[in-house]
Each structure stands twice: as C-alpha cells, then as structure tokens.
Structure 1
Amino acid sequence: MSRLQVVSGKGGTGKTTVAAALALALAREGRRTLLVEVEGRQGIAQLFGAEALPYEERKIAVASGGGEVFALAIDAERALLDYLQMFYKLGSAGRALKKLGAIDFATTIAPGLRDVLLTGKACEAVRRKDKAGRYVYDHVIMDAPPTGRITRFLNVNDEVAGLARFGPIHNQAQAVMKVLKSPETAVHLVTLLEEMPVQETADGIAELREAGLPVGRVVVNMVRPHHLDEATLRAAADERRAEVARALSRAGLGGARRGGLAERLVDPLLAQAAEHASRVELERAQRTVLEQLDMETYELPLLGAGMDLAGLYELASELRKQAGEE
C-alpha cells in the first residue's frame, strides 16, 4: 500500500469524504495516518465535527484497533515561511516579509508556487522519521484538488525543476517528484455513476498516466441500492399501467375501477418506478465505461441519513472489507 494516498475527483463526488474514510481505514491496529487538506475549505474539520484546523498536525480521530488519525490544513503562506527558514535560514526576515504582505503577494500572483509549497509540505510528511528512524506516519492521505487540475497540481515540481537547474529549489523540486512518481504514491479518483464524473475520471486517468504519475484506484461513491428485480424494472420501463392496477387491487388496495384507490395510486407509482428504472439503466451504462478503464474499483454506498462521524466509520469499514482486510 502506497504511503502517500492522493484523493481527487470531480466536484460534488464526495472526494473529501472518501479521503477521510480512507484515513480511518488505513489507521487500523495502532497505525498513524495524516489527513492533509490543501484547498483551504476546512472540509475535514466539518466532517469530523472539529474546530477549524490550524497549520499544525492535530489528532482528530481514533480508528479501530487503536490507530490514530491526524489532520493538517496546509496554508501556503505558512508553508512558504517554513521553506524560507529551511533552505535560506530567513526566520525573522521571513516573518518581516509576511508583515509587509510580500508572502501573500508571492503566493497569490504565482499559483504554481502555491502548488509547489502544498505538495512539498505533504511529501515532507511522507518522508519524515522520528529519532529511531521510523516513519512518523504510516500513511499520508491528501484531499487534493479536483480531477480537472490534479495532474498539473502534482506535476508542478517537474516544471520547477526544469526552470531552476541547480540550487535548493531544484533539489527540493526533484525530491518531491521522486516521491510523487514512485510506488510510494497512488492517485485515487472518486466518481459517481453519472456521465460527467465518469468521463472526467477517464480523462483524468489518461492525463495522469501521460504525465508518469501513479494511478491508484477508482472509488465509486454514493452508490444507491436497486430496489426492483429485473422483471419489475422491465415492467416499470414499459409502464404497464393495467398490470400495476390489478396487482394493487389484489393487494387489497381497493378495486381497479375508475377512481378507486388502486387507480389513484397507479400513476405516481409508475412515475417513481420508471424514474428508478431509468437511473438503473444509466448506472449500468456508466459501470460499463468504468470496466473498460481496466482499473481496480471500490464502491461506497449512499448513506441515507447523511454524512456524520458514524458514517465515516461505516465507509472506512466498507473500504477495509473490499480490500480484503476485514
């Protein structure tokens, strides 16, 4: 299992939820995971019912078997101050630059610099070891930008290494890309069984592979159950009104005569059944597209009660089951 797990997906697919569930799933039996947020939305804090995350690693959950989940919201300005201190020993000077607004100016006018800092901080956490030489975190899970820009986000250090031919910037960029393009990293894509997210997933996989970045798994999120068997689905699609009315009548819901209870129930029931049948057909078509990608795929259910901490633990358990670890 790769030590850096990057989770991306089209907006609205629930990638932050999947990243959080993955962090819980990997933090089993005493392991430690770090869940990293890079977009400044504080989505992780909301999921775990915690206060807004500061720019420091904070324990936010305990997983099954005593594992621990830590979280970090990376701030580009603070990361740049760390960078200046690490490579140029500009501790007090860097703080002075921040007061002057230079740090904010630099990270705002140069989006590429922001991405360099965000990926660099995550990779530093992956490589960090304690005094005994053991990794501080068994896994680092990054709640990454959406699929449309994930390749550029992860590959930005390659561009920086090409621009800066030598020196600490070049060396740092190369060190980051060494992690991102190695078996230590896996980029997972979250999708729904809908046409646009599936197509964006297919495009994202192609772009990642072309850039030499390691693709992990596809996670199909919010999968809804199919309530009707095949025969009923076909009947719903055909809108067999008379058959449904007779079935309701046999069930004791009034006669099938005009204006009876069965008669009044037919139209709304058929409308719901036809909608369900149409959705099932669409989902099957999208599953076929995903199968053609030849990717290992996990499926997570739609939780009817909405997402809360209990739901995260449920999804984490489902991930472990599908990985054959529970």
Structure 2
Amino acid sequence: MGVDRDWEGVRLHVVTGKGGTGKTTVAAALALALASDGRRALLVECEGRQGIARLFDTPPLPYAERKLAVAPGEGMVYGLAIDPEQALLEYLEMYYHLGRPARVLQRVGAIDFATTIAPGLRDVLLTGKVYEATRRRFSGSRPARTAARIVRHDGVPADAYVYDAVVLDAPPTGRITRFLNVNAEVADLARVGPINRQAASIMSLLRSPQTAVHLVTVLEDMPVQETLDGIAELRRQQLPVGAIVINRVQPAHLPTSALRAVARGEVDTAALQRGLAKLGIAAEPSTVDALAAETIDAARTAVRERRLRHTLSQAGRPTYDLPELDIGDIARLYTLAAALREQGAA
C-alpha cells in the first residue's frame, strides 16, 4: 500500500490495555495485519479465557498451535492458548529431560500445587513459552509433542523463523510490567545455572528492539490515565514501549471551533427546525429541543475526547485509530487489520 511499516525488526508484539478497551480484538487484528502478504503470525493467549477462539468462531483452543485464519495475500494466522501446567511439563522435558517423571508429578497434582502457591512461576512459564515460539526456527524445531509442528513452506530458508511475528494478548496494563519483568526477578534469585540462563535470555528478548509493548485504550479518562501510567512504568523497567492504539473512535463531523461553540450550548434551534423541515420532517419544538440537547452532549464528549487525544500525544508514541464497527467478529477483525496496515502498523 506504499505505507512504511513502523515496526520493522520487531518479532514479538505484546498487546495490553485496561479491561474493556478491546485488547483481545486489537491483538487479533494486529496478528492478521502482520500475517499479510504471505507471512506467518502466531497469536498467543495466556489468561485462559479462550477469547481468541470466540473471536475467530472456532472451538476452544487446546495447548497446541492451530491455524486460525488466512490473512490477505495468503498469509497465515495460527493461535495458541497457553496452559501453565502443560507449559511446565514442556519446560521440564525440554531443559531437564524429565518426560515421564514430570507426568507422574502431574498425576499427583504437584504441578498444579506449585503454580498455585507460586503465582510468579505461572508468569515465568507463560513468558517462557512465548520466548520459545518467538525464537523457534525451522532447522531448530524439535519434534513437538505438545504443539503442532509447522511445515516449512516452499522457498523459505531452512533456518528461517517459524513465525514472522508473534502477538501476545497479554494481561491488562495494571499487571503488564510485573508479568513481563518476572524473569528479571528469577534471574536475581537464581544467580547461576540453567534457570538463570533461561530467565536472562527471556529478559534479553523482552528488553530488545525485537519486542514492542502496544497499549490499547479508548478516549475516556480512566483508560487514558492507565495507559500513561503503564507507559511510564514500562519505561522505568526498561521495557520497549510500542504504539498507542485508540479503539472505538467516533468520526469527527465538525471543525474544532464549531464543536466548542456547540459544547458551550450555542445551538440555533430555529435553524435546526428549518433544516428538518427541508428534509420533510415536521418536528415539534420539544423534539427540536431534545435534539439540540443531544447535540450539545455529543459535542461535549467530542471536545473531551480531543483533549484526551492531546494528552496521549504527549507520550510521544505512534498512535493508531480504530473505528467503532457494528459488524460481525470475523468481518470486524479483517476491517481493523486493514486499518492498522493503512496506518503503518504492519
């Protein structure tokens, strides 16, 4: 489309946002955008809600990488719902070769007990699986027991990454920094050995230019403030801040000067009534007054949204607008993906 991509070199896109802002929908649309033109993207869910499956109208995802959708230009989107217990089994088998003993632990409930009493361990396992998927190459892919192996496409170099991009539907902004930074704490606790090396490798990826943490918001006071607080906290922890995605944007119908006048209550009800009459609508004065009141409320909302947009701009990050759409999930995802591509997100 002739638009430069903002995130060249980024392989892991972490999507966070305040609850209710459409974080999962934006993550899915971003995965579709990144998979366009023959690329492969993995969309990962880590909160056990099966939100990805509902969006793509598929059965609940198992702990296995499954094809979800075909992107424009014959790209592919795969999905994975990470289960912490299965991730721990995979970790023990991959790094400690504890295949059968680990499954004995599973049967007696030891793994579930461990992840329950040590919530941080759950986040270690989740980020560890995302790290593995992001770094996996065709030539280095181990025969997968818990995840479907992706067959190499014709013309793809044998040592190429299996996925061109990984999109993580991450926890909300209030928890995102702790979630991403958990391996730094692990590395501090385990000063030597394989656990230290693994944790350090994960943090190296998460703090590198190959990662971007995108924040989803809507133009309301609380989500905007939480977005700004999240950006500040990510920067304090040296985690790479990506874009701000403003979701459910309403179209602007009036220039700023006219909008402010209406917001102050300056509505010519006589002109409004004449305009309705030209359209063949005979409106009572009470109806015209009600329309004027709604117009004033809408203008005040628009003025507030413009103020919040200016506040977000002070964070100095690329910003993408996604419209409010009243269409089905699948059609909405493709429309939002196209909007992201047009703005240079993918």
For Structure 1 versus Structure 2, the TM-score category normalised by the shorter chain is over 0.9
Q: Tell me, yes or no, if structure 1 residue 299 matches structure 2 residue 321.
A: yes
Tell me the equivalent position of 2:306.
Answer: 284
Q: What letter matches 1:95 in structure 2?
A: R
Distance 1:192 1:209 in 2: 21
Q: What letter matches 1:179 in structure 2?
A: L
CA contact (8 A) 2:88 2:125 kept: yes
Instruction: Report the CA distance between 1:324 and its aligned residue.
Output: 7.8
CA contact (8 A) 2:272 2:288 kept: no
Q: Tell me, yes or no, if structure 1 residue 262 matches structure 2 residue 288.
A: no
Distance 2:134 2:162 in 1: 8
Tell me the equivalent position of 2:234.
Answer: 208
Tell me the equivalent position of 1:257.
Answer: none
Q: Could you report, residue by residue, the CA deviation over 1:276-302 in whole angstroms, capped at 9, with x for unpaired residues?
A: 011111101101111111111111111
Tell me the equivalent position of 1:97.
Answer: 105
Tell me the equivalent position of 1:16.
Answer: 24
Distance 2:18 2:137 in 1: 34
Name the SS of the counterpart of 1:213 in structure 2.
Answer: coil
Q: What letter matches 1:18 in structure 2?
A: V
Tell me the equivalent position of 2:154.
Answer: none
Q: Tell me, yes or no, if structure 1 residue 134 matches structure 2 residue 166.
A: no
Kindly indicate which of the two structures has a greater share of residues assigned to helix. 1
Q: Tell me, yes or no, if structure 1 residue 318 matches structure 2 residue 342.
A: no
Instruction: Report the CA distance between 1:240 and its aligned residue.
Output: 4.8
More displaced 10-residue stretch of structure 1: 193-202 or 221-230: 221-230
CA contact (8 A) 2:84 2:125 kept: yes
Match of 2:90 among 73, 82, 103: 82
Q: Tell me, yes or no, if structure 1 residue 271 matches structure 2 residue 279.
A: no
More displaced 10-residue stretch of structure 1: 314-323 or 265-274: 265-274
Instruction: Report the CA distance between 1:174 and its aligned residue.
Output: 1.0
Tell me the equivalent position of 2:182.
Answer: 156
Q: Give the direction of change, closer, same or farther, for the CA distance of 1:302–1:107 in structure 2 (3 Å limit).
A: same
Name the SS of the counterpart of 2:47 in structure 1.
Answer: coil
Gapped runs of 5+ residues in structure 2?
1-7, 140-157
Tell me the equivalent position of 1:218.
Answer: 244
Tell me the equivalent position of 2:216.
Answer: 190
Instruction: Report the CA distance between 1:221 and its aligned residue.
Output: 0.8
Distance 2:208 2:214 in 1: 15
Name the SS of the counterpart of 2:43 in structure 1.
Answer: strand
Q: Give the direction of change, closer, same or farther, for the CA distance of 1:90–1:291 in structure 2 (3 Å limit).
A: same
Gapped runs of 5+ residues in structure 1?
255-259
Instruction: Report the CA distance between 1:233 and its aligned residue.
Output: 3.2
Q: Give the direction of change, closer, same or farther, for the CA distance of 1:126–1:246 in structure 2 (3 Å limit).
A: closer
Instruction: Report the CA distance between 1:184 and its aligned residue.
Output: 0.9
TM-score (norm 2): 0.88
CA contact (8 A) 2:260 2:303 kept: no
Q: Give the direction of change, closer, same or farther, for the CA distance of 1:281–1:164 in structure 2 (3 Å limit).
A: same
Q: Could you report, residue by residue, the CA deviation over 1:128-185 in whole angstroms, capped at 9, with x for unpaired residues?
A: 0112211000000000000011011001000001101111111111111111111111
What is the percentage of aligned positions where both structures have the same residue? 59
CA contact (8 A) 2:87 2:125 kept: yes
Q: What letter matches 1:126 in structure 2?
A: T
Q: What letter matches 1:266 in structure 2?
A: V
Q: Could you report, residue by residue, the CA deviation over 1:50-97 in whole angstroms, capped at 9, with x for unpaired residues?
A: 110100000000001100000000000000011111122111111111
Distance 2:159 2:95 in 1: 23
Instruction: Report the CA distance between 1:261 and its aligned residue.
Output: 3.1
Number of aligned positions between the proteins? 318
Root mean square deviation, CA, Å: 1.8
